[in-house]
Amino acid sequence: MLRFKYFIVIILGGLVLACSSEKPVLTVKTSAKNNTAKLGQTVKLSLKNPDGVSINAIEYVLEGKKVTENLSLDGVKLGKQDLVARVISGNDTIIAESNLKVLDNKQPDLYTFEIINTYPHDNTSYTQGLEFHDGVLYESTGQFGESKLRKVDYKTGEVLKNLDLNGGYFAEGLTILDGKIYQLTWKADTGIIYDLNTFEKLGIFRYNQSAEGWGLCNDGTSLYKSDGTERIWTLNTSTYTEDDKIEAYTQKAKVGRLNELEWINGKIYANLYTTNFIIIVNPKNGSIEGIIDLTELTKQIPSFTKDDNVLNGIAYNPETETIFVTGKRWDKLFEITIAKK
């Protein structure tokens, strides 16, 4: 019995020592209501320190960058940002974590459109991606067993070159950079790289942070990829890893289901899946700067449905300085211009 009591004392003593060695819990507080603020605001940062821990120094970090306790939200990205405090207490470093949601500080501009031309389009093509290169239109079409990569004469609809994908692939967006075509697949965690001229398969890449592939575009240097959420990823063109991202936000909330992407004059244009809208996104911070309502176009499409044969496909032709849009299994390709209301 004596031995048993001695054993209990040892165990309890160990527990006390273990508890006393645990670091105290600290929390980052902000002056923003519900930790939500708008671009351009200044937010006061502080620590919630219920145990009254002695603090020697505090370093605040927002999205990996050092900031001051009077945090200015000028020039930051929109969306949910990781907020961390590194706290020095004696010989210990304590990490306190939180997050801050940053909304835009203005509402998007509304745009009207004008139809310049209407061209024939293959109404069996489940369009997922469009892009011009040297005046020729390239198209990626989806569905299992139907996915294709195509080179098309946009004025006549004639297919100049066609490649059928493996039946296990559901093709998504595409873009052309440095003599290569990049084509996404939906849930196969696979992007495919082709030679622009021959359509020869040169390699593949994986999605290291996102689960799916939706839209793809480029700015002449970097690749930008959507994944069906509010996120647009920047891909490293050497490793194809998703090294950075923005999140598409208005002054009220995030906007998800970003689909086909196109780079036009320094902005990212994105279809919103199952809607008649194209949004214009600032690639630096995710601000939705404009909204184009293309509902009137859908009235000219006999096959249009709200849940399947929807608007999808954006291509900018620098030779004409016009935008080309179509949809899934649409029989028409529209050449349009846009203007602010």
Residue 20 DSSP class? H
What's the pLDDT tens digit per position in 222-254? Answer: 999 999 999 999 999 999 999 999 999 999 999
Look at residue 308 in the predicted model and tell me its pLDDT.
Answer: 82
CATH, range 109-340: 2.120.10.30
Q: How crowded is the C-beta side of 98, counted as CA atoms within 13 Å?
A: 22
d(Cα 233, Cα 226) in Å, to the nearest integer?
A: 6
30 to each of 40, 76, 101, 105, 171, how far by Cα in Å? 15, 16, 11, 18, 44
Is residue 300 classed as helix, strand or coil in its secondary structure? coil
Query: Which residues in 8-35 are b (16+ Cβ under 10 Å) and which e?
Result: eeeeeeeeeeeeeeeeeebebbbebeeb
- Could you tell me if 148 and 162 are in contact, meaning their C-beta atoms sit under 8 angstroms apart? yes
d(Cα 313, Cα 278) in Å, to the nearest integer?
A: 10
Question: By C-alpha distance, which of 261, 241, 248 is closest to 175?
Answer: 261
- Could you tell me if 338 and 109 are in contact, meaning their C-beta atoms sit under 8 angstroms apart? no
Percent of the chain exceeding pLDDT 90 equals 82
Q: How many beta carbons lie within 10 A of that of residue 258, not counting itself? A: 25
pLDDT of residue 47 exceeding 70, the answer is yes
Question: By C-alpha distance, which of 137, 145, 143, 132 is closest to 120?
Answer: 137
What's the pLDDT tens digit per position in 184-217? Answer: 999 999 999 999 999 999 999 999 899 999 999 9
What residue ranges do the domains of the chain occupy?
25-103, 109-340
What's the pLDDT tens digit per position in 50-86? Answer: 888 889 999 999 988 999 999 999 999 999 999 999 9
Q: What are phi and psi of 260, to 5 degrees?
A: -60, 140
CATH, range 25-103: 2.60.40.1080
d(Cα 105, Cα 258) in Å, to the nearest integer?
A: 21
Q: What are phi and psi of 17, to 5 degrees?
A: -65, -40
303 to each of 145, 265, 309, 332, how far by Cα in Å? 21, 32, 7, 11
pLDDT of residue 8 exceeding 80, the answer is no
Residue 136 CA, distance from chain mean position: 27
Does the predicted model carry a pTM greater than 0.75? yes
* Number of H-type helices and E-type strands within the chain: 2, 28
